[in-house]
């Protein structure tokens, strides 16, 4: 799997004409990025700081054969809080995608906050993100916002690699009866 790309201010650039802000494979509408960061910052700030999750909605454009995820809107997720982390319900995400499709929008990313930690996804974050992508059958970027160092961490790998991984995880089933017969264990 590819490395995490942590993006700081020096790596981002704004397309002023289109009002799009490019962050790796994502292109945020200016207003949309401001709206998401406003909410992410507010939920991360003490007292009562908490993890908040968002589904990024928009459209996917192929530019020179590579997908560009245009972020046009967002929906906040209700999470289940455990002492260690917040997890988001996959069926909620699917329902949000269904609702968004009525407005010709699709999922173009997932973002959540790390109020105290770094902008680095945990192993749990990475695994849930892989499950989400295998369920929807395509790749979407994962973003983490950290108030600690005011950074956005991003993780993105091509669908081909995710699909290869899923294929490699196919089980080989062996009959116990046949193993017993072959080795005369009965």
Query: Mask 65-104, x = binds Zn ion (CB under 5 A)?
Result: ----------------------------------------
Tell me how far, at minimum, the Cβ of 131 lies from Zn ion, in Å.
Answer: 14
Question: What whole-number distance in Å separates Cα of residue 36 and Cα of residue 8?
Answer: 17
Query: Tokens 């069926």 map to which residue?
Result: 91
Cβ proximity to Zn ion, 67 vs 115, nearer residue: 115
Q: Where are the alpha helices (DSSP H) in the chain?
A: 30-44, 90-101, 123-136, 159-168, 176-182
**Applying CB under 5 A, which of residues 125, 141, 143, 152 lies at the interface with Zn ion?**
125
Q: Are 109 and 139 in contact (CB under 8 A)?
A: no
* Total interface residues for Zn ion by CB under 5 A: 2
Tell me how far, at minimum, the Cβ of 156 lies from Zn ion, in Å.
Answer: 16
Tell me how far, at minimum, the Cβ of 36 lies from Zn ion, in Å.
Answer: 16
CA atoms within 13 A on the CB side of 168: 6
Tell me how far, at minimum, the Cβ of 121 lies from Zn ion, in Å.
Answer: 6
Cβ proximity to Zn ion, 59 vs 122, nearer residue: 122
Q: Are 139 and 156 in contact (CB under 8 A)?
A: yes
Question: What whole-number distance in Å separates Cα of residue 20 and Cα of residue 103?
Answer: 20
Q: Collapsing DSSP states into helix, strand and coil, what is residue 172? A: coil
- Asked if residue 143 binds Zn ion (CB under 5 A), the reply is no
Q: Are 44 and 95 in contact (CB under 8 A)?
A: no
The residue length of the chain stands at: 186
Question: What whole-number distance in Å separates Cα of residue 66 and Cα of residue 103?
Answer: 24
* Window of 58-66, 87-95, 123-131, 149-157 that interacts with Zn ion by CB under 5 A: 123-131
* Window of 33-41, 52-60, 72-80, 116-124 that interacts with Zn ion by CB under 5 A: 116-124
Tell me how far, at minimum, the Cβ of 162 lies from Zn ion, in Å.
Answer: 19
Which residues within the stretch 14-33 sit at the binding site for Zn ion (CB under 5 A)?
Answer: none
- Contacts with Zn ion by CB under 5 A lie at 122, 125
């Amino acid at each position: 799997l590819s490395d995490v790309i942590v993006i700081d201010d020096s790596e981002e650039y704004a397309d002023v004409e289109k009002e799009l802000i490019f962050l790796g494979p994502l292109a945020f509408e200016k207003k949309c990025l401001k709206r998401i960061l406003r909410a992410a910052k507010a939920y991360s700030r003490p007292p009562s700081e908490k993890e908040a999750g968002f589904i990024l909605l928009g459209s996917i454009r192929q530019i020179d054969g590579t997908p560009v995820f245009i972020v046009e809107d967002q929906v906040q997720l209700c999470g289940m809080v455990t002492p260690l982390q917040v997890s988001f319900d996959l069926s909620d995400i699917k329902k949000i995608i269904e609702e968004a499709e009525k407005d010709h929008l699709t999922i173009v990313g997932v973002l959540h906050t790390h109020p105290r930690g770094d902008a680095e996804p945990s192993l749990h974050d990475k695994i849930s993100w892989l499950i989400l992508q295998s369920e929807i059958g395509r790749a979407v970027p994962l973003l983490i916002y950290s108030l600690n160092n005011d950074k956005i961490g991003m993780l993105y790998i091509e669908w081909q690699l995710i699909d290869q991984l899923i294929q490699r995880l196919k089980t080989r089933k062996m009959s116990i009866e046949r193993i017993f017969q072959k080795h005369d264990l009965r």
